[in-house]
Chain A
């Protein structure tokens, strides 16, 4: 049973990212370092951990990445703001699950979250923020994959 499915229009989020992907990823000069994608565990998240991992990754972006990133280009600023505010909305949606305690965190999920923060801490703060923003497609694809309704319609 998938718990706490997010029913939201991901298309706009993915479009916002696609429109700034090249600009963000070009600023990320550390190709040999990654924050999200070393995690085989992210790719094989158990259904029961989906809600917790979603919450933890949203908090990672809302509480750290978007704050640490300083953007001067208004075009990019608008896209990042759009995603940041959308993540805020998803957090509120998930809070309804948390209230009904269907958002349990296993040890694996907790470890995976800690690895993400450790990866982030190893980089200088602006570089870490830029890299995490450039990896938003990994997180959005993960949300898409793990929050589809099990019905095919």
Chain B
């Protein structure tokens, strides 16, 4: 079961972006001469090497998502962060995370897999070709953004580890380092941050591990060096600064569903029909917009993911 990633409309693709990067320029020039200029812009067809994504100017190949929603400005994406490991104040995270050490960084892949292993972040960047994915991000607080991520589908990493037949869930664990992450000194949260997905959700092509956004490496406040992005779920599912990925048979406990189980479910699919005790899920405020807009089922990815939940009562499995 493979789903196609919804491509941005060709009219939304900014040709200038091609010319900003030398390598992309060369690729683009070749493609242009071959009369297939568009191909260079399609996610998956260009494979920037790791050093290619450290360019200083934020850039994305597209300027809108597949629905035509404009990208949220880079400054907003990098200065409005729900990252409790640093602070509950979203606009304080960027400052507090400035000196966060993202190298060396090792990710452990274990649990119910035939090939458990650890992999350094550099090797990870070499092993998987990066692609740009323009996704909507819907926070459970009722605001949303459109972000051009750089990353690779999680299933590529999981398939390399060869999950056992008994594996049914994937558990993600973030770094625990209170010296670097002052928010972790708050004893009211069961640190470290943990999250989980059902295996079929984790293997879905929309689920990616991101290492960058806007054409450059992730900044610490956005979850550097490695974070999950699951666009049809509320933002808190997309765990940041991952150090361990573990396949399990039992549904793993997650931080927010441990803190407040009646509010934060394991599935946390964006769903305007299921009320949340505090924040509206029927409408949302897109950052940069003045009026609220209706929230879409599965955050607008229903066509790709609704079949995963067939026969499930989503007001029970919220």
Same complex origin of A and B: no
Chain A interface (Cβ within 8 Å of chain B)?
A: none
Chain B interface (Cβ within 8 Å of chain A)?
A: none
